[in-house]
Amino acid sequence: GQNIDQPTEMTATEGAIVQINCTYQTSGFNGLFWYQQHAGEAPTFLSYNVLDGLEEKGRFSSFLSRSKGYSYLLLKELQMKDSASYLCAVSPNAGNNRKLIWGLGTSLAVNP
């Protein structure tokens, strides 16, 4: 089967750094996406990794290791507005299909 695992909940302090992990087992791999979803709102795209290594975008970075089936999202200088659910999604195949396999999301609470 195809599976994505993420921690259900995490808590961190304003100004700190937090790492949200995602492990996946899929039939193939053609990229991994991270999305942010605030309560009651739609997911918004954060990052995309298809090659091993770190992608940095401002306060957010995402890392991928294809051999380990592992990714993490790193959030630096946490702000209260970063309290949200973070979704990991994998594209298991190439081409026009691009159905994504979604994790259940990690709910992050940032405390003052």
**Closest CB to other proteins among 87 and 110?**
87
Structure tokens at 96: 């026009």
Rounded Cα distance between 17 and 24, Å, is 23
We find the least distance from the C-beta atom of residue 89 to other proteins, in angstroms, to be 8
**Closest CB to other proteins among 33 and 63?**
33
How many beta carbons lie within 10 A of that of residue 5, not counting itself? 14
Q: Under the rule (CB under 8 A), what is the footprint of other proteins? A: 31, 33, 35, 41-45, 48, 50, 87, 89, 96-100, 102-105
